[in-house]
Amino acid sequence: MPDAPDAALHPGLSCRFTRAIARRPASSIARGLRAVDRGDPDLALFEAQHAAYRAALEAAGVSVTLLPALDAFPDSVFVEDAALCFPGLAVALRPGAASRRGEAAVLRPALEAAFGTVVELPEAVSVDGGDVLVTDREVLVGLSARTDAAGAASLAETLAPHGYRVRRVATPAGVLHLKSDCATLGDDAVLATPRLAAAGCFPGYRVIETAEGEEAAANAIRVNDRVFLAAGHPRTAERLEAAGYALTILDLSEAAKLDGGLSCLSLRFAG
């Protein structure tokens, strides 16, 4: 594994956003994928929580483009997995789950509208956006059941000419996505579960660990001057507040039933 570069090459890249793309939950949401069955999400509650999430993005200074529900794709509300957005650059990804493979093509017109052109990865590879953590220094790609080495390599090749360096890491075994276990807090800081922090993925970063039993808090997002954190993680919230972050707490109980969290529900970018 190459060392992390030691300087913020792209200040603000990971947390300064003006725009976001989100998609309404599908009426087929109850057929969404999940590792453990904790009951089906309730569509009306999911819609209300999604609306609150979008309102929080707007309040943080982000203009949200809301795409229509896609009933043919039960997991399509988790729009982050189908694309990667940088200032002036959109990459259509290759979601690793068979039922989600087609989401990238359906998302493409929205990306074209926002970015003009869209770069594609080769068909044979798999990369879920949930496995891609963008910091101000580099792009970490977690190998997982959804993201393969060929996908990480083709993403590295795609991003290199744009000045973004990719570093491959391992998504912990049994964890859906790299960002199920970590989030960038901007600058040189990350929030991570103890198990991911212990894997040594973050050399040179300031790591704030989630509190014991609050691992799901790691799927957070820094949005401009605020950190969005899922409700129900009071001790992790205390740690973040003690470190000086202003929190927006959001209840995403219905997304959590499908292993989704704050990062998955939008594509955020400056532009």
Q: Looking at the annotation, which residues are catalytic?
A: 177, 264
Q: 126-158 in b/e burial notation, b at 16+ Cβ within 10 A?
A: bbbbbbbbbbbbbbbbbbbbbbbeebbbbbbeb
Residues that bind ligand CIR (CB under 6 A): 32-34, 75, 78, 80-81, 97, 100, 129-130, 176-177, 179-180, 258-260, 263-264
Q: How far apart are CA 88 and CA 65, in angstroms?
A: 16
What's the closest the beta carbon of residue 242 comes to ligand CIR, in angstroms?
27
What's the closest the beta carbon of residue 129 comes to ligand CIR, in angstroms?
6
Record the tokens describing residue 88, joined without a space.
């002036």
Q: In this complex, which beta carbon is closest to ligand CIR, that of residue 95 or of residue 188?
A: 95
On whether the CB atoms of residues 195 and 214 are closer than 8 A, the answer is no
Q: Which residue has the tokens 């017109």?
A: 109
3-state helix, strand, coil in the chain (%, to 5): 30, 25, 45
Q: In this complex, which beta carbon is closest to ligand CIR, that of residue 142 or of residue 188?
A: 142
Q: In this complex, which beta carbon is closest to ligand CIR, that of residue 175 or of residue 189?
A: 175
Q: In this complex, which beta carbon is closest to ligand CIR, that of residue 34 or of residue 165?
A: 34
What's the closest the beta carbon of residue 122 comes to ligand CIR, in angstroms?
21
Residue nearest to ligand CIR as judged by C-beta position: 130
Quickly list H helices, the chain.
43-59, 103-115, 149-159, 194-198, 234-242, 253-256
What's the closest the beta carbon of residue 79 comes to ligand CIR, in angstroms?
9
What's the closest the beta carbon of residue 255 comes to ligand CIR, in angstroms?
8
Q: In this complex, which beta carbon is closest to ligand CIR, that of residue 74 or of residue 188?
A: 74
* Beta-sheet pairing, 189-192 with 206-209: parallel
C-alpha separations of 230 from 31, 131, 215, 218, 234 in Å? 23, 19, 11, 9, 10
User: In terms of Cα–Cα distance, which of 185, 136, 188, 192 is closest to 169?
Assistant: 192
Indicate the DSSP class of residue 163: T
